[in-house]
Every structure is written in C-alpha cells, then in structure tokens.
C-alpha cells in the first residue's frame, strides 16, 4: 500500500506539537499537547498517542504513514533515546523512539529538536541552498543545530552541538538545569530573560511597568510588552540578553565559519529589540578574518513548522530498527 505521508513530532520543554506532512512539505493536520505536566513518561506517551490518533483518522489511518520523525531535547539520533534533558520532567535515559514506535506501531527516527529545526530551515526556509549555517532556537531553553558541508554535526555519540550549554559566565554564573553554572541558556532563553527581569527588579530602583507584576510570575512576554511601551528597564533587559548572544555568536563563528546564524523560537518575536544588540555585540567581538561574512537571520518558518517539517523529513527514512 502506498504510504504518502510522514509524521513530525517536535517535543519542546513546554509544548509538544505534531503534524502529518506530505511529500511536498505541506502540514496537512496538526495538534499539540503539554509536555511538562506528565511526571510519568508513560502518561506522556499515552497522551501523545491519543493526540496523534485523532490526526491519523483524518487521513484514513496509520497505514498511510511511512514513518515518524521526532525532534526532542537531548534526542540521540544513533540510539533513539533522550538522555538527561534539563528542560524535561524525565531526567534519566528514556527510549523515546521505542516507546512511540510501540504505541503507534510505526517506524520512528529521533534527533535533537534543534537539529530537526535546522533540517526544516535548510529544506524550506532561509537556509535553503546553504551548506554551512548554525540554527539557534530560543525557547524554554537554547538549542542549536550545526550544519557543516551540508551535513548535520552529530559527533561520535550523537550529542554534538549543545551550544546552549557552553559556559559564558565562568565565575558566579547562574545554575543551569543541566547541573553546570553559567550556561548560555540560563541567560538567553525565554526563561533566562524572565530570570534577568527578576534580578534587575531586586537590585535596581528604577521605575518600571514590570514592578506592577508579581516577580515570581514574570515571563519574557511581559518583558517584551513593557519594552514596546518604552519601558527603559525592559529594553535594558533585552540589550543585556542580546549582548550575551552576540558575544557567544562571535565565538561560534570562529568554530565553523557559518554563512549564516538563523534564529528561531519564541524570543525572536521581540524583533529588533533582540536583533540589534546581538548584531552589535557580534560585530564588536568577531575575529577580523570573519568580519562581515556571517549573516544573522530570523527563521522564515512558523514557529512550530520548522521543527515539525524537519522532524518529519526523518520520517521518510525511518526503518524498523532494534532499539538498545
């Protein structure tokens, strides 16, 4: 029987989105569930399976699906497991591909969520035609997908490219969910922006719209909303965040000399509030030999689409495999 579709699943720290995709890269049906509300992985798999089964009915059943591709934090392409993902409720080694395969009886291939987004951007977005670029996802955490010579960099163990966990504050850095201190993610993710806001409100005396909110519930969107109203403290928070990203990008450029760094995720909705300080800090700190060579771009794809499309591309190659 012809199997004209694949299924892409993007597991984020907050939400999991999934969609059925045809050979032209059109997302025909999509859905989502919350990720972090299931302390038991089996309950998560059950909820995910039920959500996907609703979509499968729309296309005539699972027999129409060639394979499933999954993008997940710390997803290992080689063994199909997620391992010690700092932004997920399950801290041990989870055979995610195997669990999904057993639940839906469809072949599954897994990769890192940011790698999946990079594949989507390379196939359908601003990175089309590029063979060397870095994808940075700015969401609950900070992820990255590194493409060199047209190929994703996996490393010898499947975990290469964790740029969000490079240490950018060597002394007295923020504690990260990974257990280390000073990681890029702790400063430049959406949760990092909210963390900066709480710190600023505590140590500063400036008047700010943010002082009208409960500090414990402040989000990056609250900071954005205040910034677009001209709130100086909120704007300064974005300047601080962008400067750290720009400095980190200057280092990343020295590593792989990418044609572009593509930014993707919720924090990119801040537009120039985040882009301008990134650009300034990157240009200020990049080695002269690389100056002016790397473009800084926002993803052209819808927030969910890049990862769904990228993950789904793995579905065309999904095979029945023996899991570890």
Q: What is the pLDDT of residues 65-108, one digit of tens each?
A: 999 999 998 899 999 999 888 778 888 899 999 999 999 999 99
Which CATH fold topology does 130-298 show? Nucleotidyltransferase; domain 5 (3.30.420)
Q: Are strands 108-112 and 65-72 parallel, antiparallel or unpaired?
A: parallel
Q: Which residues of 295-314 are buried (b: 16+ CB within 10 A; e: fewer)?
A: ebbbbebebbbbbbbbbbbb
Name the phi and psi angles at 179, rounded to 5. 105, -10
Determine contact, residues 160/174, Cβ cutoff 8 Å. Answer: no
Which residue, chain included where needed, has tokens 């995610």? 96
Which residues of the chain does CATH 3.30.420.40 include?
A: 5-118+304-315, 130-298
Give the residue among 285, 306, 297, 301 at the shortest CA–CA distance from 260.
297
The reported pTM is 0.84
In this predicted structure, what is the pLDDT of residue 1? 57
Q: Which two tokens stand for residue 73?
A: 């934090």
Triad 163, 122, 295: Cα angle to 5°? 65
In this predicted structure, what is the pLDDT of residue 95? 96
In this predicted structure, what is the pLDDT of residue 23? 87
Which CATH fold topology does 5-118+304-315 show? Nucleotidyltransferase; domain 5 (3.30.420)
Task: DSSP letter for 173, please.
Answer: P
Mean pLDDT of the chain: 92
Determine contact, residues 312/24, Cβ cutoff 8 Å. Answer: no
Triad 304, 158, 25: Cα angle to 5°? 30
Q: Which two tokens stand for residue 198?
A: 């709480």
Determine contact, residues 219/190, Cβ cutoff 8 Å. Answer: yes
**Residue 72 and residue 115: Cα distance in Å, rounded?**
9
Which residue, chain included where needed, has tokens 């969520």? 113
**Residue 201 and residue 205: Cα distance in Å, rounded?**
7
**Residue 26 and residue 134: Cα distance in Å, rounded?**
24
pLDDT tens digits for the chain (324 residues)?
578 999 999 998 889 999 999 988 899 999 999 998 999 999 999 999 999 999 999 999 999 999 999 999 889 999 999 988 877 888 889 999 999 999 999 999 999 888 988 988 888 889 999 999 999 999 888 999 999 999 999 999 988 999 999 999 999 999 998 899 999 999 999 999 999 999 999 999 989 999 999 999 999 999 999 999 999 999 999 999 999 999 999 999 999 999 999 999 889 999 999 999 999 999 999 999 999 999 999 998 877 687 789 899 888 876 544 444
Determine contact, residues 162/291, Cβ cutoff 8 Å. Answer: no
In this predicted structure, what is the pLDDT of residue 322? 41
In this predicted structure, what is the pLDDT of residue 314? 87
**Residue 112 and residue 290: Cα distance in Å, rounded?**
28
Task: DSSP letter for 195, please.
Answer: H
In this predicted structure, what is the pLDDT of residue 321? 47
């Amino acid at each position: 029987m012809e199997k004209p579709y694949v299924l892409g699943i993007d597991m984020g720290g907050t939400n999991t989105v999934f969609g059925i995709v045809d050979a032209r890269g059109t997302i025909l049906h999509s859905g989502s569930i919350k990720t972090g509300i299931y302390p038991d992985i089996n309950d998560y798999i059950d909820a995910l399976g039920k959500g996907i089964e609703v979509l499968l009915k729309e296309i005539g059943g699972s027999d129409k699906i060639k394979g499933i591709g999954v993008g997940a934090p710390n997803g290992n392409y080689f063994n199909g497991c997620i391992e010690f993902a700092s932004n997920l409720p399950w801290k041990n080694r989870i055979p995610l591909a195997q669990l999904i395969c057993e639940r839906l009886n469809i072949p599954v291939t897994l990769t890192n969520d940011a790698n999946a987004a990079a594949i989507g951007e390379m196939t359908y977005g601003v990175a089309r035609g590029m063979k060397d670029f870095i994808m940075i996802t700015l969401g609950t955490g900070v992820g990255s997908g590194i493409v060199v010579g047209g190929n994703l960099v996996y490393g010898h163990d499947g975990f290469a490219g964790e740029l969000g966990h490079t240490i950018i504050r060597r002394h007295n850095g923020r504690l990260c969910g990974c257990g280390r201190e000073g990681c890029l993610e702790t400063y430049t993710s959406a949760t990092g922006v909210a963390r900066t806001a709480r710190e600023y409100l505590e140590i500063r005396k400036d008047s700010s719209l943010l002082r009208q909110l409960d500090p414990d519930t402040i989000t990056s969107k609250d900071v954005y909303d205040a910034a677009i109203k001209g709130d100086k403290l909120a704007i300064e928070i974005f300047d601080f965040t962008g400067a750290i990203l720009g400095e980190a990008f200057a280092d990343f450029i020295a590593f792989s000399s990418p044609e572009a760094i593509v930014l993707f995720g919720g924090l990119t909705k801040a537009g120039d509030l985040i882009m301008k300080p990134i650009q300034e800090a990157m240009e200020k700190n990049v080695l002269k030999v690389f100056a002016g060579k790397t473009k800084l771009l926002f993803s052209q794809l819808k927030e969910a689409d890049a990862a769904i499309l990228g993950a789904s591309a793995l579905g065309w190659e999904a095979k029945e495999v023996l899991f570890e």
